[in-house]
């Protein structure tokens, strides 16, 4: 099989994630120790024991998920120092959903695990500080219709856009609260099965995150980014990020741009990938991928049992 590694984003977290791996695999424990040192406090305690309200705070969720994904990958690879070599040997490309892209960049050698966790913590802080707008999941309607309706109801002062093209029939919109209300009514009239408001603090992946994106761009100057040793597929373009300049442009822009997950999986499938390995907490991506590419094999690895089965 031709394999790609994929890494989950916000929404996959749960209290207890990574705990059994850290207990039984020294490499996973080492990665969590690196995460704790990078942040100056114990994100591993939050992953392993919560409480849930602390874990689900955006500024904590983001580094927690990256730390967990990289801990799983370190356990698979047999050591933190083996992460990049293992990824290059066992996958032809990597991709991550939203903040999962930071895990993918670490797997590809573009970011060190410590820098990936530290940088995504700052990303989470900036996104959490943006308190305007909201998001809603649209179920059972095609993307073209959703795009059209969002454009129709948007105004210069109150816009709504697609934030996540997750899978056929599952799309997330984001923007000003009033614009989401107008879009929700129009989407239901157009045939959407459901439009569900999401419990989020702001309009992620929308123009309302522009200030956060600009601040992240400035903060990124503190970090070393390297050329990826394995293709990393962009959330924005669904094409490989080929060099350092492309990555430096991608990461801030990603904060206020749509996550094109459907196009990402379609690109990888067209490139010959027939086995997607989800590395990290939960199996959210597995469900999405099965709807996008039902003929592909999907494996989720996030705990001791699933790791042993894969190995």
Catalytically active residues, by annotation: 98, 205
Q: Choose among 56, 22, 24: nearest CA to 36.
A: 22
Instruction: Tell me which residue of 295, 287, 309, 276 sits closest to 95, measured CA to CA.
Output: 276
Cα-to-chain-centroid distance, residue 76: 20
What whole-number distance in Å separates Cα of residue 295 and Cα of residue 125? 39
Q: How far apart are CA 284 and CA 3, in angstroms?
A: 18
Q: Give dist(CA 176, CA 272) in Å, integer.
A: 40
Count of other CB atoms within 10 angstroms of residue 245:
11
Q: What angle do CA 113, 111, 288 make, to 5 degrees?
A: 80
**CA gap 36, 268 in Å, rounded:** 34
The HSE-up count of residue 299 (CA atoms within 13 Å, CB side) is: 17
Give the gyration radius of the chain's Cα atoms: 18
Residue 241 — φ and ψ, nearest 5°?
Answer: -85, 110
Give the Cα separation of 184 and 164 in Å (integer): 16
Rounded CA separation 298/280 (Å): 13
């Amino acid at each position: 099989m031709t394999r790609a590694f994929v890494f989950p984003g916000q929404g996959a977290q749960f209290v207890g994630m990574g705990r059994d791996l850290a207990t039984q695999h020294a490499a996973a424990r080492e990665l969590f120790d690196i995460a704790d040192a990078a942040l100056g406090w114990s994100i591993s305690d939050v992953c392993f024991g919560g409480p849930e309200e602390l874990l689900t705070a955006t500024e904590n969720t983001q580094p927690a998920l990256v730390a967990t994904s990289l801990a799983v990958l370190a356990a698979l690879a047999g050591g933190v120092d083996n992460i990049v070599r293992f990824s290059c040997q066992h996958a032809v490309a990597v991709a991550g959903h939203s903040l999962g892209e930071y895990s993918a960049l670490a797997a590809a050698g573009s970011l060190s695990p410590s820098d990936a966790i530290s940088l995504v913590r700052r990303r989470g802080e900036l996104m959490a500080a943006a308190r305007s707008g909201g998001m809603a999941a649209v179920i059972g309607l095609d993307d073209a219709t959703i795009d059209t309706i969002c454009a129709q109801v948007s105004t210069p002062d109150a816009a709504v856009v697609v934030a996540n093209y997750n899978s056929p029939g599952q799309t997330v919109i984001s923007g000003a609260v009033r614009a989401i209300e107008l879009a929700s009514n129009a989407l239901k009239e157009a045939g959407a099965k459901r439009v569900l408001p999401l419990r989020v603090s702001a309009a992620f992946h929308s123009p309302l995150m522009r200030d956060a994106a600009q601040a992240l761009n400035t903060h990124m100057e503190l970090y070393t980014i390297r050329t990826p040793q394995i293709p990393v597929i962009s959330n924005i373009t669904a094409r490989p990020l080929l060099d350092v300049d492309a990555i430096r442009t991608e990461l801030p822009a990603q904060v206020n741009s749509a996550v094109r997950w459907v196009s990402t999986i379609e690109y990888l499938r067209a490139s010959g990938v027939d086995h997607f390995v989800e590395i990290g907490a939960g199996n959210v991506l597995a469900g999405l991928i099965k709807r996008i590419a039902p003929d592909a094999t999907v494996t989720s690895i996030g705990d001791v049992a699933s790791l042993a089965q894969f190995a």
